[in-house]
Each structure stands twice: as structure tokens, then as C-alpha cells.
Amino acid sequence: MAASAHRLDEYLQVTMIDLARDHIALHLHLRLVPGVEVAAGVIRQMDTNHDGVLSRAEQETYVYRVTQNLSLSLNGQPLVLTLSAATFSSLTAIREGTGVLDLEFTSSASLRNSSNHLAYSNRGTATAWLVNCLLPRDPSLRVVHQRRSRNQSDYQLDVMVTSS
């Protein structure tokens, strides 16, 4: 019999930050894994007319709610997050704990030549968070330091940009 390890009673949100000189991409990967109480509560938040299907309007409303819990700043200046892609699994998959919600956000911001400080916060509820920065593809970007709160709902990143 095969065994798999997963969280039974939490809403796991994994954020991967992808840096470039001219923009900051956040890939927010929300993965819902059973318990039934967690899945049922999230489904109630998404499927507001309770017809068992997520309409475009219901998806947009849920994305809006998630976005309200996120904040991002660069060098002390708040940034606007713009949704660039959203994929929702079926409600059946979510109910069974295999459903994944993928939300990708970008922000129009440019890193300055020298040191930069990025701060990210996710204030969702009943959530377990994981946050990390992907290795920059641009060799002029160097991750200097990453700091996370104990539960990883708050994340800070120092990055150095050198002339190329």
C-alpha cells in the first residue's frame, strides 16, 4: 500500500518570487489538501451560488479576496499586484484534496542599481505559508539575504543589482 504525506487540515499557500530588473513576478501557488472542514469552507467561499461549478465571476471574486490579503513593497514603496494568470481545479478535486489553485501576479517595478529591499506579506486565514525567491536568471542580480517570520506569512528579501 502506497503512503503519501500531506497536510490534512490546512490551506497551504506557496509563494515563489521571480525577480528581474524591470519587473517582479510573484507566482502564488495555492494548494488545498483535505481535511474536509477546510475544503468545505473554501468551497463555500468560492462557489457562492452553491451550484457545484465555479463561474468566471466566482473565480474573479475569490481571486480578489486572496489579493486583498497580499502586500508587496520595494524599497519602502507599496507595489500594485496585477493578476496575469489564474487556474482553478474542479471543486471535486478541491474537495478530494488534489485541487490546486494557481494564481500568478506581476508588479511593474524596476530594481535600482545597488541594494534593494523587497517586503511581502500574506494575511490569509487558516493557512500554512511557504515563501522563497527563485534563483535570478540575470547574473547582475544577487540575492543577499532572505528573512521570514516564524510562520512565513511575512518575508523580506535583500537583493543587490550590479551594472551589467
Q: What is the dihedral of CA 81, 87, 90, 91, to 10 degrees?
A: 0
What is the rounded end-to-end Cα distance, in angstroms, of the chain? Answer: 54
Distance of CA 37 to the CA centre of its chain: 22
Provide, rounded to the nearest whole percent, the portion of the chain with pLDDT above 90. 45
**Which one has a higher pLDDT value, 8 or 120?**
120
> Is 36 strand, coil or helix?
helix
For range 90-95, the mean pLDDT:
86
The pLDDT tens digits for 145-155 are 999 999 999 99
Q: Please tell me whether residue 44 adopts helix, strand or coil conformation.
A: helix
Residue 66: C-alpha distances to residues 71, 78, 113, 122 (Å): 11, 17, 32, 9
Q: Does 141 score more than 80 pLDDT?
A: yes
User: Per residue in 56-91, pLDDT tens?
Assistant: 999 999 999 989 999 999 999 999 988 988 989 889
Mean pLDDT of 41-53: 90
pLDDT at 34: 40
pTM: 0.85
DSSP state letter for 134: P
DSSP 101: E
**Of 1 and 104, more confident:** 104
